[in-house]
Amino acid sequence: IFPDSAAAAKALAQEVKLLIETKNKAGKPAVLGMATGSTPVPFYRELIRLHKEAGLSFKNVITFNLDEYYGLSSDHPESYSKFMAEQLFDHIDIPKENINLPSGTVPGDQVFNHCRQYEEKIEAAGGVDLQILGIGRTGHIGFNEPGSSRDSLTRRITLDRVTRQDAASDFRGEQNVPHFAITMGVGTILRARKLVLMAWGENKASMVAKAIEGPMTEAISASFLQDHPDARFFIDHGASRELT
C-alpha cells in the first residue's frame, strides 16, 4: 500500500528497469505484459521519464498487451493500440516489431486462429516476465468478465454492461462502446512469471478486497491471482480501504 499512485508507479518502474537490465545482461529480451485504461498511466509516465532522463532503453523489450476492442482499427482514437502509442510507445525506443496487441479488425472466421497465434507468439518470446494489470468494476483482469474460467485463453469476449458503461464517456455515449473485445484469458495471464495489479482510489476498494480476501471464483476473475506464486497488488490508501 503506497501513499499515492505516483509513489507506487515509481516503485514499479524501478522494478521494471532492473528487470530489463538483468535480462539484457543475460542476453535476453525482457517480455512485458501491458494494460491500458487510466490506472497504468502514471506508471507509463515514469517509464518515459526513466527513458529520457536515466537512459533506460527499451530496444530489447517485447510487449504483449492484454486486450483490444473488437471492431476498432488500430488507428481508431479509442483503440488500445492508439492508447499505447500515445501513452508509452511513441515516447520510448521500443522497436515497432516488438509491440504486440490483439487485432481489433481480424475477420470473424479468423478470430480463433488469431487468438491461438497470439498465445503462440507469447510462448515463442519465452513467456511474459512481468504482467501489468488493472481491475475493472466487474472484477475483471484484462477483459475477463464474470464467468471467465481459471484456464481461459486468448479469445473474443462479450463485454459486461458495467464495463461498457464505464467506457461510455471515452466513446461519447454507451451506444458507441464496442460490444466485444479480444482478451488474453485468465490462464494466459496466470502463466506470466510475475504479476502486478495496480488500483487507485476508493471506487476500486471493494473489488480489491474481494480479489485478495474473498473466495477464488469465476465471478471475479482477479480472485484467481490468489492461485499465482508471485502476484502482488500495488495500491494506494483509497483502494486499500475495504481490506480487513
Residues noted as catalytic: 145
User: Which is closer to ligand F6R, CB of 23 or CB of 164?
Assistant: 164
The answer to whether residue 88 forms part of the interface with ligand F6R (CB under 6 A) is no
The answer to whether residue 66 forms part of the interface with ligand F6R (CB under 6 A) is yes
Helix (H, G, I), strand (E, B) or coil at 64: strand
The residue nearest ligand F6R at its CB is 134
Pairing between β-strand 155-158 and β-strand 61-65 as defined by DSSP bridges: unpaired
User: Which is closer to ligand F6R, CB of 21 or CB of 170?
Assistant: 170
> Residues 217, 223: contact at Cβ < 8 Å?
yes
> From residue 4 to residue 43, what is the string marking binding to ligand F6R with x (rule CB under 6 A)?
-------------------------------xxxxx----
User: Which is closer to ligand F6R, CB of 56 or CB of 186?
Assistant: 186
Q: Which of 2, 51, 87, 140 binds ligand F6R (CB under 6 A)?
A: 140
> From residue 144 to residue 183, what is the string marking binding to ligand F6R with x (rule CB under 6 A)?
----------------------------------------
User: Which is closer to ligand F6R, CB of 23 or CB of 45?
Assistant: 45
Termini Cα distance of the chain: 13
Q: 64: closest CA among 186, 192, 156?
A: 192
Q: Which residues bind ligand F6R (CB under 6 A)?
A: 35-39, 66-67, 134-136, 140-143
